[in-house]
Amino acid sequence: MNIDTSSLLHTRLAPPVLRGWPRVQAQWVNYIKRAALRQLHASNAGERLLLRIYLIGEQATEIALQRELVTEPPDWLVRQMDQHLAEEQEHVRAFGAALAERGEINVTQHHAQPDWLSRRKIAQWHTIAHRYEASFASGLLVPAFAIGLCAEQMATRVLERHLQWLNQQPESDPLQPLLVRVLADEGRHVQLCSDTLARLLEPHEQPAFSKMLAEIRAIDRSWSVTGAIGLLLMGLALRLLPQRS
């Protein structure tokens, strides 16, 4: 892939500038999730729920990496993904330690399942991946890394929002150093996915890739408001039931 084509692809891989309804939707999600953070941080049980969500997300990434790479990827990609996987495993341990500090034990001994909405979204992403697999010379690796890119960009948005909210509170929170460290790693993972896609894709595959990426991102947005409302309701419930914290 030449420099001009690669530069154009990297621009396309960046989070899109939202207009119209998607922009309004994103504003709603941001407002609702900030309200959810306020409720979740009001109870020990709420903070544990947040940490479990983050931990399960990291575990799901581990599983996806291990499963999608069984297709004998090139050596240069194996080396990169080994480092990525090691960092995700470190995140799991760090979130597990934070949960243990809040009274939850044995949280990293098994892989917990994501919530129903997340499982539904992942299933829809997998359907897209297999539908487009034959469109690329590198096969399933291209949709797998496109999905990985969107997931990492979503994780970055979530962590940035959380840190912005914490930074606006009158007192520092012990979670801040952990979230800052994980956010820095996620930023590198976004770049890793972008660089990998630029190397895997052939110029003639770009139209199919653009169409696929738009579908992947549309699924991500389609569940965003529902997920935000669910998180807010959970935060409210945990705050109103202090005896279960």
Distance in angstroms (rounded) separating the CA atoms of residues 213 and 145: 10
Q: Are 135 and 155 in contact (CB under 8 A)?
A: no
Closest CA to 142 of 188, 202, 217: 202
Distance in angstroms (rounded) separating the CA atoms of residues 151 and 23: 19
Tokens of 145: 């890394």
Give Cβ neighbours of residue 97 (< 8 Å, ≥ 6 apart). Answer: none
Closest CA to 151 of 114, 202, 198: 114
pLDDT score, position 245: 41
Distance in angstroms (rounded) separating the CA atoms of residues 177 and 78: 30
Regions of the chain where pLDDT drops below 70:
1-10, 62-71, 106-112, 242-245
pLDDT score, position 236: 94
Convert the pLDDT of each residue in 173-224 to its tens digit.
Answer: 999 999 999 999 999 999 999 999 999 999 999 999 999 999 999 998 887 8
pLDDT score, position 197: 93
Place of tokens 């990985």: 148
What is the 8-class DSSP label of residue 19?
-
pTM: 0.87
Overall fold of domain 29-244:
Ferritin (1.20.1260)
pLDDT score, position 118: 79
Tokens of 172: 């520092």
Distance in angstroms (rounded) separating the CA atoms of residues 174 and 171: 10
pLDDT score, position 156: 95
pLDDT score, position 194: 92
In the three-class reduction of DSSP (H, G, I as helix; E, B as strand; rest coil), residue 66 is classed as helix
Angle at 51 between CA 117 and CA 232, to 5 degrees: 50
Q: Are 103 and 173 in contact (CB under 8 A)?
A: no
Distance in angstroms (rounded) separating the CA atoms of residues 184 and 156: 9
Closest CA to 64 of 50, 80, 83, 81: 81
DSSP H or E stretch at residue 1: none
Break the chain into its structural domains and give their ranges.
Answer: 29-244
Instruction: State which amino acid sits at residue 123.
Output: A
